[in-house]
Amino acid sequence: MSYTGPEFDPPQQRRPRRGPLTVALAALVPGALLGWLVYEEVGGGSGAEVRTASPAPASSASPLSSAPGSASTAASPDASPHTSAGDDGKVSGTPSDRPGGTGPLKGKVVVIDPGHNPGNFRHTAEINRQVDIGTNHKECDTTGTSTNDGYTEARFSMDVAHRLRTLLERQGATVKLTRDGDSPAWGPCVDERARIGNTARADAAVSIHADGSAPGNRGFHVILPGSVHAGAADTRPIVGPSHDLGVRIAGTFLRETGEPPSNYLGEGTGLVTRTDLGGLNLSTVPKVFIECGNMRDSKDAALLTSGAWRQKAAQGISEGIVSFLRRS
Ligand SMILES: [Zn+2]
């Protein structure tokens, strides 16, 4: 997500790897929890078994233990420096926006938000400017992280965004990126990233990231907006549909990539709810973040730096979005 630099990586809370990692997936209609699916990763990521299961007990730290619309938030252990990566900024350029074609998603609008900006490292004053995210003020944007070999999260997020755009356009969707090759040298700020999705009246929005956690911490997680209502932030109408979107993306991402759910956040569910991200707090359209893996773990880094793997990641995210947009 968005660390200011490797040297600022926060201590990570390491949890023992539990049994088969599970991603609890809720099948939802807006606002109502109908049932649960658990995707069990069978060793080695060779496949995913789907079976029904009961909701996690209320005492569980799982973000899924709270129904959509609740105020519950599972603050991630790394919440502090991990600022609202991914949301926005001041944008002066024109975000990529191309008309959709024909296909099942004709008429649907998807906003893809590639986290950070490769130029943020050189514009610290600009990105450190505080912006209003409703609940409080936060930095305009952050630099994001990188692999130990220097492959930056900003490059990763843009590459996956381009692959994802191609896949969604093939389905007929109209796709807008919050930044692209012709964007300014930094940002946009998190509030602007949210605003782009809102202005586009996106049917779904997804912010693409990779984490910068401690070596040994592996796996992906999808970040869902918690319920906030303060200042310009009012996520109450989007908590339910965003949860639905996030659960679908988690399931299809796991299926396509074989990447396990995070072993350090989300209690094995691959889902984390947060209320401290401007890009989610200020969104008025269904939106989630995905942290595709941990750039600071050598095994995850080997995947994140592979073009073939990034294609699988884009495929997984795309399938989740398509599933969400075609739900009845
Ligand atoms: Zn990030």
pLDDT of residue 216: 98
pLDDT attached to residue 181: 83
Pairing label, strands 130-132, 137-139: antiparallel
Taking the CB of residue 210, how many other CB atoms lie within 10 A of it?
33
Alpha helices (H) along the chain: 124-127, 153-170, 190-199, 236-257, 278-281, 298-304, 307-325
What's the whole-model pTM score? 0.74
169 carries an active-site annotation: no
Cα 69 to ligand 1 centroid, rounded to whole Å:
25
Cβ atoms within 10 A of the Cβ of 162, count? 18
Residue 98 is predicted with a pLDDT of 66
Residue 29: strand, helix, or coil: strand
Q: How confident is the model at residue 316, as a pLDDT?
A: 98
Residue ranges near ligand 1 (ion) with Cβ within 5 Å: 1-2, 85, 115, 144, 209
Instruction: Tell me how far the alpha carbon of residue 62 lies from the centroid of ligand 1, in angstroms.
Output: 22
CB of 39 within 8 A of CB of 252?
Answer: no
Look-up of token digits 């073009």: 307
Q: How many angstroms separate the alpha carbon of residue 30 from the centre of ligand 1?
A: 28
**Structure confidence at residue 88 (pLDDT):** 33
Which residues, other chains included, contact 2 with Cβ-Cβ below 8 Å and sequence gap of 6+?
Answer: 82, 83, 84, 85, 86, 115, 116, 141, 142, 143, 144, 145, 153, 209
Predicted pLDDT of residue 290? 98
Domains of the chain: 20-325 (3.40.630.40)
Low-confidence residues of the chain, pLDDT below 50? Answer: 2-95
**Whole-number pLDDT of residue 100:** 66
Ligand 1 centroid, distance to 237 Cα (angstroms): 25
Give residue 184's pLDDT: 84
pLDDT (0 to 100) of residue 212: 98
Element (H, E) at 287: strand 287-294
CA nearest to 183, candidates 125, 246, 120: 120
Q: Token pair for residue 280? A: 């989610």
Q: What is the DSSP letter of 57?
A: P
pLDDT on residue 28: 35
**Tell me: the pLDDT tens digits for 131-178?**
999 999 999 999 999 999 999 999 999 999 999 999 999 999 999 999
Distance CA 320, CA 122 (A): 35
Catalytic residue among 169, 192, 267, 291: 291
Cα of 153 vs centre of ligand 1, distance in Å, is 7
Average pLDDT for the chain? 79
